[in-house]
Structure 1
Amino acid sequence: MTTADSTPTAEQLEREGDAAADFIEGLLDIADLDGDLELDVRQGRAYVSVESDDESLKSLADPNVVQALQELTRLAVQRETGEFSRLILDVAGSRDARRGELGVLVDQAIARLEDGASQASLPAMSSYERKIIHDIVAERGYVSESYGERGDRHTVVRRA
């Protein structure tokens, strides 16, 4: 059994991915949408990607919709496996698109630092998005920390 603080095994992550895929396939069937599922394990998390050759998934690719679907999927996986899930859901490349948007936010924060600010705060965002921010900031040679509670938790960027 894993907890939120322990690292799941590859077998547990594969089981999460399979449970998530079953749940998402059911949702796609209900909504009469076509999509191909790809399962992967990345950075200690199950990663489920839903892709389509047509525009049928466009309505589901909005970041807020993806976040809501991810939370529903995590709950379904937890119900199925009895384990806390930190799986990541991507719909029609929305995660890559969001990473690009977050990169622009980081670049804007760095520009404020280059203009003389001692730090630059970014808007509140999910833990997954903050993790991406921290990674991008480190790639750019700066440091970042998260502050605040729950829905107000945000990232602050500083010089290294």
Structure 2
Amino acid sequence: MKELTASGRTVDEAVHSALEQLNITKDQVDIEVIDQGKKGIFGFGAKRAIVKVTQRRNPAEETEAYLKEIVQDMDLDVQVHTAVEGKHVMYELVGDELALLIGKRGQTLNALQYLAQLAINRNSDRYYSVTVDAEGYRTKRRESLEALAIKMAEKAEQLNKKVALEPMPSFERKIVHQILQNRKVTTYSDGAEPHRHIVIKPD
């Protein structure tokens, strides 16, 4: 986080000077006026204004750097692309060795997403939701979960008995709940993390 003290004939001039030196815009900083300064009379008794300009934290950028550090420690040549939409941040991992980062049924990718979620909200004054994706895995996984949910709901209906799915993280359980909400079944989560899973019960 950058911080700079600058001076000028006026507060505005001092702020402008600081922004130029930091190469950032006014909406990215907090400004503290240390001295308002004085104009003086006929050039005598003038006093320069002094401000302290501090760059605001950017949780999305900080978390991007954190993810880059993790993949570098894994000795992988992977880039991280960040997209921010309101309170949702998407981190797209791009590289040649993404299978290692995805892991079995996305377990490694889910772990990275969990860490990113903790990191971005650690000292933030607003809550961000995070998605970490690689090679479009999230879309493929969603399609797979939707197909599985429908298949298992049909099985529950045919057998007229409860059917339990494999353990999965909360955001994946939400997908299953949503896809089955208009079918003649009831879905609920059972068990404790990390073994929490969905149970499909015929109505």
TM-score, scaled relative to structure 1: 0.69
Kindly state the Cα deviation for residue 157 of structure 1 after the two structures are TM-superposed: 2.1
Which of the numbers 142, 145, 156 marks the counterpart of 2:188?
Answer: 145
Please tell me whether residue 91 in structure 1 is matched to residue 134 in structure 2. yes
Letter paired with 2:82: E
- CA shift, 1:139, in A, is 6.2
The CA deviation string for residues 110-157 of structure 1, in whole angstroms up to 9 with x for no partner, is 221341324322122111111111122236675422122222321122
User: Could you say which residue in structure 2 is the equivalent of 1:33?
Assistant: 77
> Could you state the TM-score of these two structures normalised by the residue count of structure 2?
0.56
Q: Deviation at 1:57?
A: 2.2
Distance in 2 separating the partners of 1:133 and 1:22: 32
Larger-Rg structure: 2
Consecutive unaligned residues in structure 1, runs of 5 or more:
1-14
Match of 1:116 in 2: 159
Alpha-carbon RMSD across the aligned residues, in angstroms, is 3.0
Determine helix, strand or coil for the equivalent of 2:181: helix
- Aligned equivalents of 2:182, 2:132: Cα separation in 1: 24
**Partner secondary structure for residue 100 of structure 2:** helix
* Structure 1 pair 139–39 and aligned structure 2 pair: CA distance change class (3 A): farther
Q: State how 1:43-54 maps to structure 2 within 5 Å.
A: 45-52=88-95
Say whether 1:20 aligns with 2:99: no
Counterpart residue type for residue 49 of structure 1 = E
Q: 2:77 aligns to what SS in structure 1?
A: coil
Between the aligned residues of both structures, percent identity stands at 22
**How many residue pairs were aligned?**
143
Unmatched runs of 5 consecutive residues or more in structure 2: 1-57
